[in-house]
Structure 1
Amino acid sequence: MEWKDCKHSREAGKYYSLNQETFLNFLRKHKIRAKRVLDIGCGGGELTLKIAEAVGAEEVYGVHINDKAIKAASSKGIEVVKYNIENGLPFEDNFFDLITANQVFEHINNTKLLFSETFRILKIRDML
């Protein structure tokens, strides 16, 4: 039996969808606005676009390592960079207004580096 066909996969899918909706509702409820958005591990871009819409983004970026996902997200108008996030993030300091990473950190070895890099490229640093 394939993972996608088993009961545990269907249960996980429900929680994954609930997680996404909870996050999108948070953005809407708190009227979060962001001109430039990055989605780390953007996959095919479906959630990335929902996030961009919720915050009124004008520029939407993604990072992914998988060519198939990059092609799918790029076809949706997302500026996708192919990059191994275990090596950091290939963006300049203070570049993004909002950075998301849904279901990503648990898959990497050096979380300290990814948190550090996320902080480096997030504009909020200027507010501290």
Structure 2
Amino acid sequence: MSMNFFLINYIRKKHHFGRYKIVKALIAGHGKELLDIGCGSPAKCVKPGSFLRTAGYGQGIDIVPCKLEFPFKIGNMENIPFENKKFDVITAIEVIEHVDKPKKALDEVYRVLKDQGVFIMTTPNNNLLFRSFWCIWERTVGKEWKDTHLSPLTKSDWLGMIKKSNKFKIEKVIDYWGINLIFKIRKI
């Protein structure tokens, strides 16, 4: 293993776990029923269920089977396998950009979120900085992620889609490392 491999994995872990800490702070005090959409492994250097372990509670869904110490179901963001108004808090960390129909995904989140529930999503900001980084990433160490971003949207695209839905109130938007966005939105 080269020194570059260890350095890249160190940076990736810092990036992922830094987001997890922010998301954990954003969900604090918002209820006991947590669903983490896409709870599997976001990178080979991060174990499945890492955000649920960081939060300390909840259940997860992913399109790939996972062995977790938390309740788990196979599922996806465009067809969430739970009844209406089940969750106080839903998280989707680096997931929504991988779905073909982000509006349908937001509709599904709305459906399973309790009234006044909180949804936290993180996603790349498809700005020039991110596109430059991603172009290099896909051609080098991130080859497994090539062509997986099905909904590459900018901050203004996401804000417009969320506002236009008339289903959520945007409470906070955090620009993370200049390439990622963290949205805290509430069901209205």
TM-score (norm 2): 0.50
Give 5+ residue unaligned stretches, structure 1: none
Matches within 5 A, 1:1-128: 5=5, 7-28=7-28, 32-43=29-40, 44-51=48-55, 53=56, 60-67=58-65, 70=66, 72-73=67-68, 76=69, 78-86=70-78, 88-124=79-115, 128=188
How many percent identity over aligned positions? 27
| Structure 1 residues 99 and 18, CA gap change in structure 2 (3 angstroms) | same
Q: CA-to-partner distance for each residue in 1:1-36, whole Å, 9 max, x for gaps?
A: 89x8175554333222211112223334xxx23121
Structure having the higher Rg: 2
Q: What secondary structure, in the 3-state scheme, does the structure 1 residue paired with 2:87 have?
A: coil
TM-superposed deviation, 1:112: 0.7
CA distance in 2, matches of 1:26, 1:35: 14
Q: What secondary structure, in the 3-state scheme, does the structure 2 residue paired with 1:66 have?
A: coil
Give 5+ residue unaligned stretches, structure 2: 41-47, 118-186
Q: CA-to-partner distance for each residue in 1:69-111, whole Å, 9 max, x for gaps?
A: x2x22xx1x221112334x111111111111111111111111
Q: Higher helix proportion, which one?
A: 1
- When the two chains are superposed, the root-mean-square deviation of aligned CA atoms in Å is 2.6
Q: Higher strand proportion, which one?
A: 2
TM-superposed deviation, 1:122: 0.3
CA distance in 1, matches of 2:5, 2:93: 23
